[in-house]
Structure 1
Amino acid sequence: MLRFLRHGSIACCLLAGAPSFAAGTVSLCFERQEVLPWRTLDGGGLNFELLAEVARRLGLTLDYQSMPWKRCLAQVKANQVNGAFAVSFSRERLALGAYPGVKGGDGEADPARRMHVDRYVLVRRKGGKVDWDGKRFANVDGRIGFQLGYSIGDFLRARNVTVDEGSQQADELVQKMLAGRLVAAALGGGDAMRLMRSAYATQIEMLPVPLIEKPYYLLLSHAFVAQQPDLAERIWKTIEDVRTSPAYRRRERELTGHPGGGH
């Protein structure tokens, strides 16, 4: 497990005179995988820049822990870490932790307090027949793969397609697809764009219509919210404040091409 401590100094381009008062340490896990432009394994990317500025404003120290995604969510549920990022909303995940804007285990997460917006897209072998028109699948003559623990699995199952979630990495899904074990893969936008710039680019293609676009949040453990409800609310509100700040929006435009964009 990669583990490192960071204070709010990572996003130097956003900062101007950081206060030096002491406060507690908040432990956050994230998936052990680079998802550009949002995060890298060594603490780069927009997610880390946003959280660094949140930490600076609130006087927090953040303890980042990298691990497989399902383990990360399980540790939030077990209150072994204080939170996880970046987590899309689903009702099933309300049992794991708390989202901003959800009161009493009911309702929807508040999109104004998201960390970013991302999309899932369908990638197939070049010349493949499987298709997606924005409403329904066509010519699905095999399994569609997605990464273990990813919420896009619920989306696929709700549309009655046969799925495969036996892979941790996007690259594994592409390898399975090229070997004929999958007809397509449902990938996050950043993973898909990275793969389209890789050695696989001559063998795969990305369908133009996204499967789904959704906001991603900082999920906090139920124990953390119960013990420090005011701090939890301040963290979520500060995420909104930083994300909508002119400095962060400039950074987001630089790395995504547009504000509020997905990877």
Structure 2
Amino acid sequence: MPRLALFLLLSTFSLLVHAQDRKLQFCYEDHSVYPWVTGVKQGLVFYLLNKTEAELRLNFDLISLPWKRCLNEVKAGRIHAAIGASYIQDRAKWGTYPTDANGSINKELRLFYANFFVYRRNDSAVRWHNQRFENLRQQSVGVQLGYSVGKDLEELGYPITYLPASEDLVAVFKTKALEVIVLENSEADRVIAANPGLENLMVKEDDPVKGGEQYLLFNTVYYNANSALAHSIWETLAKVRRSKAYQEERAKYISSK
């Protein structure tokens, strides 16, 4: 074995052995993000994390927090990584995403993919077309707190009302205080299924507002000191996600929705 390859192998092994002696703290959103987060340490993302933790013989401390606070804790370096973060430039200033040899985001090392759609009242004239709202006037758009899709819409000039959970958005939507809300597609399906009559009230616009990969986002200071360990975690998560066992587990959630 070439000396460089042997050195890298031993370095990675040393980091993994050292990591077994301490907890790696990861935070996740404290509300449903179906099917990835369905409760306290429940959902598909925890299947991925638990299998990765076992394979690498690590110790993950998984902390439930409001999403915006989770990101702020990682930014401040008090928590090592955020679970399920999309890529935006502001986050890349303090956090590190998995990249390939060219320095581009490595989408193959994602946790999952999420699509966000506009949902409007059935009597609303508002439409989402060509990445713009039509007939919105000065109405506010409901978005979950800390979600990057809200920032994207703000940059387009639209007023946003932020609420913590999908259920909160739907509750205000029912009162007519919000005519339009943005939800992740699978989470919206879950909420609609759990609320009889809601499917007759909510109309999903055809075009997504945003779609993208969601990653395990490490604090950059931590990553710089533990890059081999971080890459081992990203790569193992991806390997588990591609496995037949994971696909079978995913099918259980999709079929039970």
Distance 2:211 2:29 in 1: 19
Pairwise CA distance, 1:23 = 4.7
The structure with the largest alpha-carbon Rg is 2
- 1:184-209 CA-to-partner distances (Å, cap 9, x unmatched) read 01111232112211143343222233
1:41 corresponding residue in structure 2: 39
Question: What is the TM-score when the length of structure 1 is the normalising length?
Answer: 0.82
1:155 corresponding residue in structure 2: 152
Task: State the SS of the aligned residue for 1:127.
Answer: coil
Task: State the SS of the aligned residue for 1:39.
Answer: coil
- 1:103-160 CA-to-partner distances (Å, cap 9, x unmatched) read 9xx9542111000001101111122211113533212131111111110012212333
C-alpha RMSD over aligned residues: 2.3
Pairwise CA distance, 1:250 = 2.6
Q: How does 1:66-215 map to 2 (within 5 A)?
A: 66-101=64-99, 108-141=104-137, 142-165=139-162, 167-197=163-193, 198-199=195-196, 200-215=198-213
In structure 2, do the counterparts of structure 1 residues 230 and 68 end up closer, same or farther at CA, with 3 Å as the change threshold?
same
Distance 1:235 1:212 in 2: 27
Pairwise CA distance, 1:36 = 1.6
- 1:43-96 CA-to-partner distances (Å, cap 9, x unmatched) read 121100011111111101110111111111111011111111111110111123
Q: Which consecutive residues of structure 2, in runs of 5 or more, have no partner in the other structure?
A: 1-18
Distance 1:22 1:158 in 2: 43
Q: How many positions carry a matched residue from both structures?
A: 235
Letter in 1 for 2:187: D
Higher helix share: 2
Question: What is the TM-score when the length of structure 2 is the normalising length?
Answer: 0.83
Q: Which residue of 15, 24, 27 maps to 2:25?
A: 27
Percent identity, aligned pairs only, is: 29
Task: State the SS of the aligned residue for 1:207.
Answer: strand
Quick check: 87-96 or 167-176, which moved more? 167-176
Matched, 1:255 2:248: no
- Whether contact under 8 Å (1:126, 1:205) holds in the other structure is yes
- Whether contact under 8 Å (2:27, 2:82) holds in the other structure is yes
Task: State the SS of the aligned residue for 1:210.
Answer: strand
In structure 2, do the counterparts of structure 1 residues 108 and 161 end up closer, same or farther at CA, with 3 Å as the change threshold?
farther
Stretches (4+) displaced over 6 A: none
Distance 1:55 1:202 in 2: 43
Distance 2:107 2:31 in 1: 24
1:17 corresponding residue in structure 2: none
1:260 corresponding residue in structure 2: none
- Whether contact under 8 Å (1:37, 1:255) holds in the other structure is yes
Distance 1:71 1:93 in 2: 13
- Whether contact under 8 Å (2:48, 2:240) holds in the other structure is yes
